[in-house]
Amino acid sequence: MLEFVIMRSFIKRYDHFGKNMLQAHRHQQILSRLQENGIVHIHELSQDFAVSEMTIHRDLDQLETEGRLRKVRGGAIPVPAPTPVQGEVCFMCHTTPRSQTQMTLHMSNGSVQRACCPHCGLHGMAMMGDQVVSALASDFLRGNAVTAQAATYVVQPDVTICCTPTVLAFQDVEDAKRFQHGFGGEVLNFTKTMQYLNEAMHLSTNHHEEH
């Protein structure tokens, strides 16, 4: 009888240890995929690891609590860079820019205008026209700079990152499509994004005038 109790205790401890090992392995794989792809999807992780979506939800909850990712609808994305640009605010909405979303507009008079996100930066480009010599956007997933005209944008995804409608810039169109796959929105080039924002601003102006 004593041997049976000892054996049950051993099996229970071994099973607990095994589950912890499997969980740690999943966490490591989730973070590796996040670093590689810039996005992970709950449904895909559930299938690949052969566990329930609820298990993946718990994994992402724990990793978010540890500050290692940001959980959003349908999956998770990297933690946005929290470092603000010291002493500067967005020239459009006056919020503090973050390195993950900011845009910089280089003006013909030699000055630099900083925007908190592509929503404000592209509006500024439309307003100031030829005064803007060049504009750089931050790739949302990787943080590196890309010219505004060469970037691909995801417009109005299901997650709000900065101003609304949310506009996020990506250097790689495939990154933009992967983000859209998980979080919705439209994938647009520079010209179509400018048109979208112009129409959104026009509708907003008409709405305010009617009221």
CA distance 23 to 93: 43
CA distance 114 to 104: 5
145-147 vs 132-138, strand pairing mode: antiparallel
CB atoms within 10 A of CB 192: 13
Domains and CATH numbers, the chain: 2-77 (1.10.10.10), 103-210 (no CATH)
Half-sphere CA count of 199, side-chain side, radius 13 A: 7
What global pTM score does this model have?
A: 0.63
Predicted confidence pLDDT, tens digits, the chain (211 residues): 545 444 455 444 434 434 556 888 899 899 888 878 888 999 999 999 999 999 999 999 988 887 788 888 889 888 754 454 455 899 999 988 888 899 999 998 888 899 999 999 999 999 999 999 889 999 998 888 888 999 999 999 988 888 988 999 998 999 999 999 888 999 999 999 999 998 877 654 443 444 4
